[in-house]
């Protein structure tokens, strides 16, 4: 059976990126590393990083979605992924110091946004659209009215 593995193009920072990402996620490991490429695993998902030069850059059109339970988890991943030069975006999105986009999202968000009561769902959506890092308690307050 074939496998699908994210393949990340770096401008010479593949080893640094691998070390950064494996330090953030508890269930991670380095599989291999050489001057040209790295292989590592985060939360059971394998990644390949290539040191291939400045020809191609990451864009937010592709991001990695981190779904978590608690505000503490949101804060943890948000802060660690922004460290050393990352940039926050809107609605739980951020770009790390390598330009790779991530979404740090609570598992409750889809339920809040798809509530059968359209007024509750709209209040949650309106609150989320004003956020950079997701504030789970504020989303729940907005949803409740």
Beta bridge partners of 121: none
Same domain flag for 87 and 43:
no
Tokens 């009215």 appear where? 145
DSSP string, 55-89: T----TTSEEEEEESSHHHHHHHHHHHHTTT-EE-
The stretch 13-32 carries a mean pLDDT of: 97
Q: How many domains would you assign to the chain?
A: 2
d(CA 34, CA 87): 29
pLDDT at 107 (0 to 100): 98
Average pLDDT value for residue range 37-58: 97
Structure-token pair, residue 3: 């496998």
Give the pairing of strands 37-42 and 63-68: unpaired
Burial class (CB in 10 A: 0-12, 13-18, 19+), 104: buried
**Mean pLDDT in residue range 86-100:** 98
- Global pTM reads 0.94
Do 143 and 75 fall within a single domain? yes
E-strand stretches of the chain: 7-10, 28-33, 37-42, 45-51, 63-68, 87-88, 93-95, 101-106
Q: Return the DSSP state at 14.
A: H
One domain, residues 46 and 90: no
Same domain, 138 and 80: yes
Same-domain pairing of 44 and 9: yes
pLDDT the model gives residue 67 = 98
Confidence band for 141, pLDDT divided at 50, 70 and 90: very high
pLDDT at 21: 98
Q: What is the pLDDT of residue 12?
A: 96
Residue 136: per-residue pLDDT: 98
User: What is the distance between the alpha carbons of residues 32 and 84, in angstroms, rounded to a whole number?
Assistant: 25
Q: pLDDT grade, residue 104 (50/70/90)?
A: very high
pLDDT tens figures, 57-76: 999 999 999 999 999 999 99
**Domain residue limits at 66:** 58-145
């Amino acid at each position: 059976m074939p496998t699908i593995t994210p393949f990340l193009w770096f401008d010479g920072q593949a080893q640094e990126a691998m070390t950064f990402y494996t330090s953030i996620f508890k269930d991670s490991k380095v599989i291999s590393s050489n001057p040209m490429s790295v292989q590592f695993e985060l939360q059971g998902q394998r990644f390949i990083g290539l040191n291939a030069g400045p020809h191609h850059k990451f864009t937010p059109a592709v991001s990695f979605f981190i779904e978590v339970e608690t505000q503490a988890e949101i804060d943890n991943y948000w802060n660690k992924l922004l460290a050393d030069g990352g940039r926050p975006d809107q609605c739980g999105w951020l770009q790390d110091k390598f330009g790779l986009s991530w979404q740090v999202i609570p598992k409750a968000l889809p339920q809040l946004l798809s509530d059968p009561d359209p007024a509750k769902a709209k209040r949650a959506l309106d609150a989320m659209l004003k956020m950079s890092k997701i504030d789970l308690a504020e989303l729940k307050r907005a949803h409740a009215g």
